[in-house]
Each structure stands twice: as C-alpha cells, then as structure tokens.
C-alpha cells in the first residue's frame, strides 16, 4: 500500500450520477502499462483506491477501472456528500490516495499468453451498475493475454448505461440489460445468462445480483466475485468490513474484495 497525492487529469460525466476521473500518478511511469509484461507496481483488476475528501472523515473506497504507466482511471457514482463534492473537482486539483488496496482478481489459472488454453478459455464477465468499472480492467487484461471474454452489463435504465462502447472496442462480445428495458434486454443480468457458453465466471455488483448470478451459474464452475462493504480504514486495521467465508472470517479490504465462488457464504 502506498499513500500518494494524485492530480486530477480529467473528469467527465458518463451517465446518471456517474463520473469518470483520470488521476495522474506522482511519478511518471510508476505503473506497468497493461500491455507490458514486466511489472513495476504490481496492480490487478479488482483492486481499489481509498480517497480522502475534504469535508468527509472517512476515506471513500473506489475500484480501479483501468490504468496506464502514468494514470489510474476510476468510475464512481455520486452516492453522498463526499462523492458529490468529488464530482465537482477540477482538472489539476489533487487527491490524497491510499492504493492499491485489496487482493484483485486472480488470473493465474489463465496460463501463458497465447497458449492453447488461453484461446479455448471462455470466461463470462458480469458487471452490475457501480460493479461495471473493475470488469473493464479485467476484460482488458484478459483480452491482452489472448482470451476472448463475454460480457454482460446490467443497469437500471438507459440513462445509467456507461462503457458499453469501451468494452466493444476491446473486442469483447457485450450483452446489455436494463431493468426497465429502455436499452438492451429488459430484465436483470441473470436473464442474459441463458444460452451463453462459458466455463468460468467473474462478477461485480450489488450483493443480491451476485447471489442471483451464483444461483444461475452451474454449480462447481470456477468463479470469482467482488464484494462491497462499508469500510473504516481500507487496509485491514479496523475490522469494519469483515465477512464470513467457508474458510473463516475475511476482511473485504485485504483478503477481498474478490472472493472465490467456492468460499462464499450467502
């Protein structure tokens, strides 16, 4: 974990109460660009930042969407005073950030880039609402190692949809669902799972969505899901975000946010 002051390089509104912010790292080239095999600062899709905001006491945990050698991109919803204030910040303003936090998605099962197992793998990525951003970093990482993931994105309504084109630009097959049917398939992400061929599962979204996805997916299929909890510190000190797993209690901020499907207790 590092504590850095990052500079806002850009910020734009993506959808209803949804913003994308690009943060400039304090040291140029601090991160490994996703296309470079060697790793400087080890970072995995599914990890998060914890951001200190003026006027809020606790930091705000926000998942990393993607990264380059010099920048981190986050996408967040304005859910309260802190994030609303953040959405009004301008290019050039600075943020106090603890990062990278959490375990991230474990992609070790995907083997060497370009191998036969890579091209044969059929992972399904499911993101719901604020759970979509980490799926983007994951999707890019998979595509870069030669895997062709299928992606289901779920939102409440057309006004909430973001990053559909970005996923498609990566070359992923994208299925969109909205609860009111104003864009894509009407219904929940689980309604889009029928008829899709997949052999592993990655999901991030509200807990009710994760549980529904878990029930729909074939029992025993490998999968990883990222969970959200109210956090105190974000780095394992306060025990505020604990959850029960089949292998005992885990801190969502350190041993999570990503849990193996086989260890989740609903």
Report residue 118 as tokens. 């890579």
CB of 56 to another protein, least distance (A): 6
- Given candidates 146, 187, 222, 236, which one binds another protein under the rule CB under 8 A? 236
Burial (CB count within 10 angstroms: exposed 0-12, middle 13-18, buried 19+), residue 57? exposed
CB of 131 to another protein, least distance (A): 18
CB of 7 to another protein, least distance (A): 20
Give, in degrees to the nearest 5, the angle at Cα 211 between 163 and 184.
Answer: 35
Of 181 and 232, nearer to another protein (C-beta) is 232
Map the footprint of another protein across residues 174-233, applying CB under 8 A. 229-233
- Does the protein bind another protein through residue 116 (CB under 8 A)? no
Of 57 and 266, nearer to another protein (C-beta) is 57
Q: Which residue has the tokens 């006491």?
A: 57
CB of 9 to another protein, least distance (A): 25
Of 50 and 177, nearer to another protein (C-beta) is 50
CA nearest to 67, candidates 37, 29, 96, 15: 29
CB of 207 to another protein, least distance (A): 11
- CA 109 from chain centre, in angstroms, equals 19
For residue 210, the cross-strand partners are none
Contact status, residue 266 vs residue 246, Cβ threshold 8 Å: no
CA nearest to 135, candidates 172, 100, 103: 172
Site string for another protein, 44-63 (x = CB under 8 A): --------x---xxxx----
The residues of the shown chain that bind another protein, judged by CB under 8 A, are: 1, 3, 52, 56-59, 80, 82, 98, 229-233, 235-244, 249
């Amino acid at each position: 974990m590092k504590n850095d002051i990052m500079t806002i390089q850009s910020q734009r509104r993506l959808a209803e109460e949804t913003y994308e912010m690009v943060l400039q790292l304090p040291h140029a080239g601090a991160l490994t660009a996703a296309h470079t095999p060697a790793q400087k600062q080890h970072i995995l899709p599914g990890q998060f930042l914890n951001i200190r905001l003026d006027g809020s006491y606790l930091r705000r945990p926000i998942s990393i969407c993607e990264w380059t050698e010099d920048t981190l991109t986050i996408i967040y919803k304005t859910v309260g005073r802190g994030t609303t204030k953040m959405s009004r910040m301008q290019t050039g303003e600075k943020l106090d950030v603890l990062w990278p936090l959490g375990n991230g998605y474990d992609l070790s099962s995907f083997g060497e880039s370009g191998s036969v197992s890579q091209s044969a793998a059929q992972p399904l990525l499911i993101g719901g609402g604020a759970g979509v951003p980490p799926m983007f970093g994951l999707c890019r990482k998979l595509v870069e190692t030669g895997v062709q993931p299928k992606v289901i994105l779920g939102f409440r309504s057309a006004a909430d949809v973001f990053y559909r084109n970005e996923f498609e630009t990566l070359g992923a097959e994208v299925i969109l669902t909205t609860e009111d049917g104003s864009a894509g398939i009407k219904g929940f992400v689980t309604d889009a799972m029928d008829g899709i061929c997949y052999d592993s599962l990655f999901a991030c979204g509200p807990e009710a969505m994760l549980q529904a996805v878990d029930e729909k997916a074939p029992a025993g299929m490998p999968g990883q899901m990222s969970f959200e909890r109210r956090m105190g510190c974000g780095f394992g000190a306060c025990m505020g975000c604990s959850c029960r797993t089949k292998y005992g209690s885990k801190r969502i901020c350190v041993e999570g946010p990503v849990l193996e499907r086989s260890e989740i207790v609903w």
